Chain A
């Protein structure tokens, strides 16, 4: 049943197929995220979960299907992609901060060049947001001078400075030392508490239980199961999900 877009829909994917050469990475994906909804995407590696979030802001193009974000049809391409990217923040596994700029400059660049705000306004926003992710004291430092957890919080702040409607997280804690995972998750939890629409690829099941409205499980390029956290963790229906959760418990 093809879903339709209404004002409550943040993201809609309909019959999306994605190939990397001969490899069928996303198979007929139908996926909807409502405004203010928090989704956790999980699944074994190679299941297509990163590819799925990267399609939402068109870092990956798709071969067929429609993707509508914030009411804008991305499959039409061109200007629509730029318009949507302004409204979607993204946080990567490897932080991807700009190493030749200070923390403050990292946060100011996009508002200055994309939104076209004044330098003073960009700076004020950056300082406020950096304070919110508790990294205000490091505003003048370069990324290499910060720990992994601090860098990832800067990356979150950089995305937030664009005042996005949707935040995408692609394994934001996977590259972190264990003791730094919490500070990043706490930042994400406070973001969720503020009502942000979020799609997170993560294996942090504690985070999923705490904030997710829905957990989406993928395997082999397909969405296998979608459920509330309680149902997902305590009463998974699909064999693949059960096997995956069993693996998580063993580790």
Chain B
């Protein structure tokens, strides 16, 4: 049976879009928290923690996201824990984003001149306050453009979650093209939706880069 493209189908696309946004948000928020922890471990000066964080980053940046999705999904299945695809993909994206954001933020933390850390130490300012008031405000500002760049990657990357049966925007598109037999039209619409979400973010990232460059060069 061939279904035409009507309001019901657009409603399905909207639901798919919302799942894509939900997964992106969860991945970015939890990945942001994890990434901050990874970046702080990576720069803390304690050898064991730094190595652990480095290994975490290398493993998740050195393997395909698709593979990470498979391993989390089937790996947890092996533990006899029943888990919805939603939880599995959320976990996988959180780990992935933690590693990438951790590496981006490590770079920005290390780009703050050492003299500022020394000045803070000389004033008796402890590690937590040093990070909270001196290093992180500057580092996070520097890292905004690449962070937004990664967010765009992450949103597009959520389409991989379709493979393990998570019905986000791409998978909704596939399902619709199967019942309407109009794959080109459907995928064009799906592509347009991704573009509408990602393009403003890309623009924002580039605008920030321009605005921040004089600050960094001073």
Contact = CB atoms under 8 A, between A and B. Distances in A.
Given A92-B115, A99-B218, A113 B133 contact: yes
B15 interface: no
B118 A114 contact: no
Interface of A: 57, 59, 82, 85-86, 88-90, 92, 94, 96-100, 109-110, 113-114, 144, 155, 158-159, 162, 168
Contacts of A162: 123-124
Contacts of A155: 119
Given A109-B125, A110-B124, A96 B137 contact: no
A96 B118 contact: yes
Contacts of B123: 85, 89, 109-110, 114, 158-159, 162
B122 A85 contact: yes
A113 B127 CA distance: 11
Ranked nearest first, the 3 interchain pairs of A and B with the lowest CB-CB distance are: A96-B119, A96-B115, A110-B123
Given A100-B137, A110-B123, A155-B119, 17 more contacts: A57-B122, A59-B121, A59-B122, A94-B115, A96-B115, A96-B116, A96-B118, A96-B119, A98-B134, A100-B138, A100-B141, A109-B133, A109-B134, A113-B133, A114-B126, A158-B119, A159-B122
A227 B138 CA distance: 45
B129 interface: yes
Contacts of A59: 118, 121-122
Interface in B102-127: 113, 115-116, 118-126
B134 to A, nearest CB: 5
8 contacts: A57-B122, A59-B121, A96-B118, A98-B116, A98-B120, A109-B134, A110-B125, A158-B119
Given A99-B138, A99-B218, A82 B126 contact: yes
A92 B119 contact: yes
Interface residues on B, range: 10 to 19
Interface centre among A82, A94, A96, A114 (most CB of B within 10 A): A96
A70 B183 CA distance: 79
Contact of B124 (A82, A94, A97, A98): A82
Contacts of A82: 124, 126
A175 B141 CA distance: 28
Nearest to B130: A113
A100 to B, nearest CB: 5
Contacts of A86: 124
A88 B123 CA distance: 8
A114 B125 contact: yes
Contacts of B134: 98, 109
A113 B119 contact: no
Contacts of A89: 122-123
Nearest to A113: B129
B102 to A, nearest CB: 22
Contacts of A144: 218
A106 B118 CA distance: 14
A110 B123 CA distance: 6
A94 B122 CA distance: 14
Nearest to A93: B115
Nearest to B129: A113
B87 to A, nearest CB: 39
B126 to A, nearest CB: 7
A90 B119 contact: yes
Contacts of A99: 138, 218
Contacts of A85: 121-124
A226 to B, nearest CB: 25
Given A94-B115, A96-B116, A100-B138, A113 B218 contact: no
Given A96-B116, A100-B137, A88 B218 contact: no
